[in-house]
Copies of this chain bind each other. A is one copy, B any other.
Amino acid sequence: MGSYKIAVLPGDGIGPEVVAEAVKVLSIVGKKFHHSFDLRYADFGGAAIDSSGVPFPPATQEVCMSSDAVLFGAVGGPKWDTLDPAIRPEKGLLALRKAAGAFANLRPAKLFSELADACYLRPDIVANGIDILVVRELIGDVYFGEPSGIEVRDGERVGFSNMIYAEHEIRRVAEVAFETAMKRGKRLCSVDKANVLAVSRLWREVVTEVAKGYPEVELSHMYVDNAAMQLVRNPAAFDVIVTGNLFGDILSDEAAAITGSIGMLPSASVGGANTPGLYEPVHGSAPDIAGQNLANPVATILSLAMLLRYSLNLSAEADAVEAAVAAVLAKGYRTGDIYRDGMKRVGCTEMGQLICDAV
């Protein structure tokens, strides 16, 4: 029996809907396992821009940093797309990641056996399933590299963003990746573009150095263009992938898309000492279906399971949530995004309630 502080940032688009279902699940978990969860709601993203002019207001930062973990939905939407980039919703997400020191973003891309027919690849290619974990570096790279800007040089505009990594930034995320690989299939593929980019050559050197501490893990290196190809040709060949922020953004979305279950995929961003872990669905804010009870809350509910497991060390509770999701899927309940003939179609709130009942 414990007492925990959870910052809850619903965000924009379908964010509030899917977060509401995860919160319902959390309260059932609290009752069943006798924990008390102090839910601390705060504005974030577009919602925060509307209420206070900035996407990650100081009050929200305060709430997050004093919590044990942060659960959030999604940010962004057409309403804020024309704003100055400095105050767009995405900037808030980057600032939150940075403030939390969350340098390692864990994004599983898994083919749920109940949903094998939702997979976008030819059935024979995925006969052995897909179970990839992308470990994406999250607070470095060209996302934060300086100098960056647009300026006039020799009479024309020039735009530039610096792709930069320091040794310690590569080392710490590589360590997380090797540790994670040790708990899984012990195969790690590091993705870079070392045949062209200096920053990738350092990446490859440092990952190779870290590998010496993990002799049991089989390390391979792959160029990012080839990785984009192999994810399609033979996704079952991957266990853990480690890569930089930009390549990780692209490849984790590709891997998620392949499974056909993007509405099902959770993510965790961790790393800071004494800072909260961040938990969010892989999918975005999907403004086109927001407010219509059409969203799939499973990705957020599974993100909550990761939160219980990694930030609160409550593995029995996490297991219970994951088992409840599997049970509801096994009974044939599906939201629209994963619906196939013969299944039972439900909305976001019904899906959330079914999972609550199953916990």
Q: Could you say which residues of chain B place their CB within 8 Å of the CB of A161?
A: 162-164, 197-200
Interface membership of chain A positions 186-226, coded 1 if the CB is closer than 8 angstroms to chain B and 0 otherwise? 00000001111111111101100000000000000000111
Indicate whether A200 sits within 8 Å of B159 (C-beta atoms), given known contacts A229-B256, A232-B120.
yes
- In the complex, A113 has a CB within 8 A of chain B: no
Does A160 make an interface contact (CB < 8 A)?
yes
- Expressed in whole angstroms, the minimum distance between the Cβ of A116 and any Cβ of chain B is 11
Chain B nearest CB, measured from A233 CB (Å): 6
Complex Cα gap A194–B125 (Å): 34
B143 and A196 contact, CB distance less than 8 A = yes
Tell whether A76 is near chain B: CB-to-CB under 8 Å. Answer: yes
A47 to B312, CA, bound (A): 57
Asked if A135 is at the interface (CB within 8 A of a chain B CB), the reply is no
In the bound complex, what is the Cα–Cα distance between A159 and B197 (angstroms)? 9
**Beta-carbon nearest neighbor of A252 in chain B:** B225
Number of A interface residues in the complex (CB < 8 A): 65
A160 and B120 alpha carbons, distance in the complex (Å) = 36
Within 8 A of B (CB), among A226-284: 226, 228-233, 246-247, 249-254, 256-258, 262
- Shortest A32–chain B CB gap in Å is 36
Contact call B246/A258, Cβ cutoff below 8 A: no
Interface flag for A63 (CB, 8 Å):
no
Contact partner, A160, options B164, B206, B254, Cβ 8 Å: B164
Contact B119 A198 (CB under 8 A): no
Q: Is the CB of B254 within 8 A of A203?
A: no
Contact A203 B159 (CB under 8 A): yes
- Closest beta carbon of chain B to A171's beta carbon, Å: 9
Among A13-21, A145-153, A288-296, A320-328, the stretch that binds chain B is: A145-153
Asked whether any CB of chain B lies closer than 8 Å to the CB of A346, the reply is: no
Which residues of chain B come closer than 8 Å to A158, judged between CB atoms?
Answer: 164-167, 202
A90 interface neighbour in B85, B125, B195, B249, Cβ under 8 Å: B195
A85 with B120: in contact, given A167-B157, A228-B228, A254-B232 (CB under 8 Å)? Answer: no
Q: Which residues of the partner chain B approach A252 to less than 8 Å between Cβ atoms?
A: 225
A122 adjacent to chain B (CB < 8 Å): yes
Taking a contact as CB atoms closer than 8 A, the residue among B165, B201, B225, B249 that contacts A224 in the complex is: B249
Residue A196 contacts which of B94, B247, B256 (CB distance < 8 angstroms)? B94
Is the Cβ of A199 less than 8 Å from the Cβ of B160?
Answer: yes
- For the complex, what is the distance from the CA of A167 to the CA of B160, rounded to whole Å? 11
The complex places the Cα of A327 from the Cα of B247 at a distance, in Å, of: 40
Min distance, Cβ A293 to any Cβ of chain B, angstroms: 23
Closest to A227 in B: B250
Q: With an 8 A cutoff between CB atoms, is A123 at the interface?
A: yes
Known: A159-B164, A258-B232. A150 touches B202 (CB 8 A): yes
20 A-B residue pairs with Cβ-Cβ distance under 8 Å, sorted by A, are A90-B195, A120-B125, A142-B142, A148-B199, A150-B199, A150-B201, A158-B165, A159-B165, A159-B198, A159-B202, A161-B162, A161-B164, A161-B198, A162-B163, A193-B246, A193-B249, A226-B253, A229-B262, A232-B258, A250-B250
